């Protein structure tokens, strides 16, 4: 069932979170809510009843919603602090005033993480040129790379932590966290990373101070592994070939996870301002 929810705001909200419940609290019905469209004077949501497979009773439904106004936030931590605590796609405003869509993880380790990379299957090709890695590619809900240009603008404005979550071949989950993560000059996108903690091993430390390489940009060492920072592309090979449990330097994996080149099942990189 689609519901057009009327409202009156000074401007079109940039994000809306909606939930639905029976107006009568004694009724046990539950619903999934999908946001379809946001306008200045209305929000269109789709309700799916989940307490039974089909059918609707004549019941009164209350839709609760929270909107974020047109003042864009600079990162997911700021969005979290504004009161929005559901993981999903949001828009943030960079220091050059451009607005970009990101995926915010509001659950892991207190939330407020801006996801910059994710691998969940092999449906998106990560062996791309520098222009593609600079601009970003993929789907914010699935496999994607945020873009070196956006990473540079974010991490040179504030001090960021980096967290890398990896699910290995045997579905064991580990993480690596760094207290410093910065993508330097847009000409070479040199990586600054340090301050490791976690249980997955300091694999990314090999790439500290290195330029980003792609097949068309200084890509001698990392040519076959997807774009990455030189010096560690066969160790922290997160943009390599998605091939869970396959051995080899070109597979997407995290070497010190178990001290071997073994393809991972899930990879996610995310950043959060330290302050």
Q: How many percent of the chain have pLDDT more than 70?
A: 88
Instruction: Taking residues 200-226, report their average pLDDT.
Output: 81
Least confident of 115-124, 134-143, 165-174, 217-226: 217-226
Higher pLDDT, 251 or 56: 251
pLDDT value of residue 143: 97
Residue 155 CA to residue 160 CA, distance in Å, equals 6
Least confident segment among 44-48, 100-104, 126-130? 44-48
Least confident of 60-69, 156-165, 251-260: 60-69
Q: What pLDDT score does 183 carry?
A: 97
Mean pLDDT in residue range 41-55: 77
pLDDT tens column, 153-196: 999 988 999 999 999 999 999 999 999 999 998 888 999 999 99
Question: Taking a C-beta distance cutoff of 8 angstroms, is the pair 267, 118 a contact?
Answer: yes
- C-alpha 109 chain-centroid distance: 14
Residues 6+ apart with CB under 8 A from 54: none
Q: Residue 119 has which token pair?
A: 């691998």
**Phi and psi (nearest 5°) for 204?**
-75, -20
pLDDT value for 37: 78
Structure tokens, 190: 């040199």
CATH code: domain 76-273 is 3.90.215.10
Q: Is the pLDDT of residue 70 over 60?
A: no
The gap from C-alpha 268 to its chain's centroid, in whole angstroms, comes to 7
Q: Kind of pairing, strands 31-38 and 160-167?
A: unpaired
């Amino acid at each position: 069932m689609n519901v057009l929810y009327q409202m009156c705001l000074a401007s079109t909200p940039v994000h809306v979170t909606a939930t639905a419940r029976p107006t009568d609290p004694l009724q046990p019905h539950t619903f999934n809510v999908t946001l379809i469209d946001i306008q200045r004077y209305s929000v269109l949501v789709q309700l799916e009843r989940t307490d039974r497979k089909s059918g609707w009773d004549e019941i009164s439904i209350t839709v609760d919603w929270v909107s974020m106004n047109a003042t864009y936030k600079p990162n997911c931590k700021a969005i979290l602090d504004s009161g929005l605590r559901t993981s999903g796609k949001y828009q943030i405003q960079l220091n050059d005033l451009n607005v970009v869509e990101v995926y915010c993880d509001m659950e892991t380790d207190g939330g407020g993480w801006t996801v910059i990379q994710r691998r969940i299957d092999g449906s998106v090709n990560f062996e791309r040129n520098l222009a593609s890695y600079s601009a970003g590619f993929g789907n914010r809900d699935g496999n994607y790379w945020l873009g070196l240009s956006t990473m540079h603008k974010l991490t040179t404005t504030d001090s960021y932590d980096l967290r890398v979550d990896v699910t290995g071949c045997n579905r064991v989950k580990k993480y690596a966290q760094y207290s410093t993560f910065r993508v330097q000059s847009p000409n070479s996108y040199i990586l600054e990373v340090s301050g490791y903690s976690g249980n997955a091993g300091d694999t990314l430390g090999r790439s500290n101070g290195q330029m980003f390489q792609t097949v068309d940009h200084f890509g001698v060492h990392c040519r076959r592994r997807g774009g990455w920072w030189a010096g560690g592309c066969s160790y922290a090979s997160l943009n390599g070939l998605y091939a869970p449990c396959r051995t080899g330097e070109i597979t997407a994996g995290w070497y010190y996870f178990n001290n071997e080149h073994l393809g991972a099942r899930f990879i996610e990189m995310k950043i959060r301002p330290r302050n």
